[in-house]
Amino acid sequence: MQISLLQLILKRFALGLVTLLAISLLITVGVEALSGDVCTAMMGQMASDDKVAACHRELNLDRPVHVRYLEWLVNFAQGDMGQALTNRYAVADIIGNRIGNTFFLAASAALIAVPLSLILGVLAALYRDSLFDRSISMITLSGVSVPDFFIAYILMAIFAVSYGLFPAISNIDETMTLAQRINASALPVLTLTLAVSAHMMRMTRASIVSLMASPYIEMAKLKGIRPGRIIVFHALPNAWSPIIQVIMLNLAWLVVGVVIVEFVFVYPGLGALMIDAVFLRDMPIVRATAMIFATVYVILNLLADILSLVSNPRLMHPK
What 3-state class would DSSP assign to 64?
Answer: coil
* Long-range CB contacts for residues 29-34, cutoff 8 Å, separation at least 24: 31/278, 31/281, 31/283, 31/286, 32/65, 34/278, 34/281
What confidence score (pLDDT) does residue 314 get? Answer: 63
Task: Tell me the pTM.
Answer: 0.82
Q: What CATH number should be reported for the domain whose range is 91-316?
A: 1.10.3720.10
What confidence score (pLDDT) does residue 1 get? Answer: 46
Query: Following DSSP, what letter does each residue of 91-154 receive, concatenated?
Result: HHHHHHHHHHHHHHHHHHHHHHHHHHHHHHHHHHHHTTTSHHHHHHHHHHHHHHHS-HHHHHHH
Question: Which amino acid is located at 38 in the chain?
Answer: V
List, for the chain, all residue ranges whose pLDDT scores fall below the cut of 70: 1-4, 312-319
Question: Which amino acid is located at 37 in the chain?
Answer: D
What confidence score (pLDDT) does residue 157 get? Answer: 92
At 4-29, the pLDDT tens digits run 677 777 888 888 889 888 988 988 88
| Residue ranges of domains in the chain | 38-80, 91-316
In terms of phi and psi (left: phi > 0; alpha: psi -120 to 50; beta: otherwise), the region of 158 is alpha
What confidence score (pLDDT) does residue 252 get? Answer: 82
CA–CA dist 294, 252 (Å, integer): 9
Of the CA atoms within 13 Å of residue 26, those in its CB half-sphere come to: 9
